[in-house]
Homo-oligomer: A and B are copies of this chain.
Amino acid sequence: MEYLAGQYDVIVIGAGHAGCEAALAAARMGCKTLILTISWDNVALMPCNPAIGGPAKGHLVREIDALGGQMGLTIDATAIQIRMLNTGKGPAVHALRAQADKKKYQQYMIQVLEHQQNLDVRQAMVESIRVEQGQVQGVLTQTGAFFAAPNVVITSGTYLKGRIIIGDLHYPGGPNGYFPSTELAASLRDIGVQLGRFKTGTPARVDGRTVDFTKMVEQPGDEDPLNFSFISPRIERKQISCWLTYTTEETHQIIRDNLHRSPLYAGVIEGTGPRYCPSIEDKVVRFADKKSHQVFVEPEGANTHEMYVQGMSTSLPEDIQLAMLRSIIGMENVKIIRPGYAIEYDYVVPTQLKLSLEHQTIQGLFTAGQVNGTSGYEEAAAQGIIAGINAACRAQGKEPFILKRSDAYIGVLIDDLVTKGTNEPYRMLTSRAEYRLLLRQDNADQRLTQIGRTIGLVDDIRYERFQRKMDRVGQEKELWSKTFVTPGNARLQEILEQKQSSPLTKGLSLFDLLRRPELTFDDLHSLLEYDEAPETVDPEVAEQVEISAKFEGYLVKQQAQVERFNKLESRRLPPDLDYASIGGLSTEARQKLMARRPESLGQASRISGVNPADISILLVYLEQRRRRDNGGNGE
Which residues of A are interface residues toward B (Cβ below 8 A)? 1, 3, 5, 38-41, 103, 107, 110-111, 114-115, 120-123, 142-145, 166-169, 173, 176-179, 205, 207, 209, 261, 303-306, 317-319, 322, 335-339
Cα distance A143–B123 in the bound complex, in angstroms: 30
Task: Add 17 more A-B contacts to A111-B303, A143-B166 (CB < 8 A).
Answer: A38-B177, A39-B177, A41-B41, A107-B303, A114-B209, A114-B305, A114-B306, A115-B305, A120-B207, A121-B337, A123-B337, A143-B339, A144-B167, A144-B169, A144-B318, A145-B318, A145-B319
Select the residue from A122, A205, A303, A319 with max chain B CB neighbours within 10 A.
A319
Please indicate the chain B residues that have their CB under 8 angstroms from the CB of A176 in the complex.
39, 41
Please indicate the chain B residues that have their CB under 8 angstroms from the CB of A205 in the complex.
40
Do B336 and A41 touch across chains, with their CB atoms under 8 A apart?
Answer: no
Do A317 and B123 touch across chains, with their CB atoms under 8 A apart?
Answer: no
Cα distance A402–B144 in the bound complex, in angstroms: 50
CB-nearest residue of chain B to A45: B41
CB-nearest residue of chain B to A108: B303
Which residue of B39, B111, B318, B337 is within 8 Å of A3 (Cβ)?
Answer: B318
Minimum CB–CB distance from A209 to chain B (whole Å) comes to 8
Do A114 and B1 touch across chains, with their CB atoms under 8 A apart?
Answer: no
Please indicate the chain B residues that have their CB under 8 angstroms from the CB of A3 in the complex.
318-319, 322
Do A144 and B338 touch across chains, with their CB atoms under 8 A apart?
Answer: no
Minimum CB–CB distance from A307 to chain B (whole Å) comes to 11
Report the 5 A-B pairs with minimum CB-CB distance, sorted nearest first: A3-B319, A143-B318, A123-B338, A39-B177, A114-B305
Do B303 and A337 touch across chains, with their CB atoms under 8 A apart?
Answer: no
Known contacts A38-B177, A123-B337, A338-B123; A317 and B207 CB within 8 A of each other: no
CB-nearest residue of chain B to A142: B169
Do A322 and B5 touch across chains, with their CB atoms under 8 A apart?
Answer: yes
Please indicate the chain B residues that have their CB under 8 angstroms from the CB of A179 in the complex.
173, 177, 179
Please indicate the chain B residues that have their CB under 8 angstroms from the CB of A167 in the complex.
1, 143-144
Do B144 and A319 touch across chains, with their CB atoms under 8 A apart?
Answer: yes
Please indicate the chain B residues that have their CB under 8 angstroms from the CB of A177 in the complex.
38-39, 41, 178-179
CB-nearest residue of chain B to A168: B1
Cα distance A303–B107 in the bound complex, in angstroms: 8
Minimum CB–CB distance from A76 to chain B (whole Å) comes to 17
Do B107 and A144 touch across chains, with their CB atoms under 8 A apart?
Answer: no
Known contacts A207-B120, A317-B144; A114 and B304 CB within 8 A of each other: yes
CB-nearest residue of chain B to A174: B177
13 contacts between A and B (CB under 8 A): A3-B318, A5-B319, A39-B177, A41-B41, A103-B103, A107-B303, A114-B207, A121-B337, A122-B336, A123-B339, A143-B167, A143-B339, A144-B319
Cα distance A363–B5 in the bound complex, in angstroms: 53
Please indicate the chain B residues that have their CB under 8 angstroms from the CB of A305 in the complex.
114-115
Minimum CB–CB distance from A259 to chain B (whole Å) comes to 15
Minimum CB–CB distance from A143 to chain B (whole Å) comes to 4
Do B107 and A103 touch across chains, with their CB atoms under 8 A apart?
Answer: yes
Please indicate the chain B residues that have their CB under 8 angstroms from the CB of A143 in the complex.
166-167, 169, 317-318, 339
Cα distance A317–B2 in the bound complex, in angstroms: 10
CB-nearest residue of chain B to A39: B177
Minimum CB–CB distance from A155 to chain B (whole Å) comes to 18
Minimum CB–CB distance from A322 to chain B (whole Å) comes to 7
CB-nearest residue of chain B to A301: B107
Do B144 and A207 touch across chains, with their CB atoms under 8 A apart?
Answer: no
Please indicate the chain B residues that have their CB under 8 angstroms from the CB of A40 in the complex.
205, 306, 337-338
Minimum CB–CB distance from A313 to chain B (whole Å) comes to 16
Minimum CB–CB distance from A176 to chain B (whole Å) comes to 7
Minimum CB–CB distance from A331 to chain B (whole Å) comes to 15
CB-nearest residue of chain B to A120: B335
Cα distance A143–B261 in the bound complex, in angstroms: 13
Please indicate the chain B residues that have their CB under 8 angstroms from the CB of A303 in the complex.
107, 111
Please indicate the chain B residues that have their CB under 8 angstroms from the CB of A111 in the complex.
303-304
CB-nearest residue of chain B to A3: B319
Known contacts A39-B177, A123-B337; A304 and B145 CB within 8 A of each other: no
CB-nearest residue of chain B to A123: B338
Please indicate the chain B residues that have their CB under 8 angstroms from the CB of A169 in the complex.
142-144
Cα distance A604–B621 in the bound complex, in angstroms: 99
Cα distance A167–B261 in the bound complex, in angstroms: 44
Please indicate the chain B residues that have their CB under 8 angstroms from the CB of A41 in the complex.
41, 176-177
CB-nearest residue of chain B to A141: B318
Do B207 and A121 touch across chains, with their CB atoms under 8 A apart?
Answer: yes
Select the residue from A5, A40, A111, A142 with max chain B CB neighbours within 10 A.
A40
Please indicate the chain B residues that have their CB under 8 angstroms from the CB of A304 in the complex.
110-111, 114
Please indicate the chain B residues that have their CB under 8 angstroms from the CB of A207 in the complex.
114, 120-121
Cα distance A619–B145 in the bound complex, in angstroms: 65
CB-nearest residue of chain B to A339: B143
Cα distance A312–B115 in the bound complex, in angstroms: 25
Please indicate the chain B residues that have their CB under 8 angstroms from the CB of A319 in the complex.
1, 3, 5, 144-145
Please indicate the chain B residues that have their CB under 8 angstroms from the CB of A1 in the complex.
167-168, 261, 317, 319
CB-nearest residue of chain B to A122: B337
Cα distance A120–B338 in the bound complex, in angstroms: 12
CB-nearest residue of chain B to A146: B319
Cα distance A144–B166 in the bound complex, in angstroms: 10
Please indicate the chain B residues that have their CB under 8 angstroms from the CB of A322 in the complex.
3, 5
CB-nearest residue of chain B to A322: B5
Minimum CB–CB distance from A624 to chain B (whole Å) comes to 57
Cα distance A145–B166 in the bound complex, in angstroms: 12
CB-nearest residue of chain B to A106: B103
Cα distance A336–B143 in the bound complex, in angstroms: 12
Please indicate the chain B residues that have their CB under 8 angstroms from the CB of A336 in the complex.
122
Cα distance A145–B111 in the bound complex, in angstroms: 38
Please indicate the chain B residues that have their CB under 8 angstroms from the CB of A166 in the complex.
143
Please indicate the chain B residues that have their CB under 8 angstroms from the CB of A173 in the complex.
179
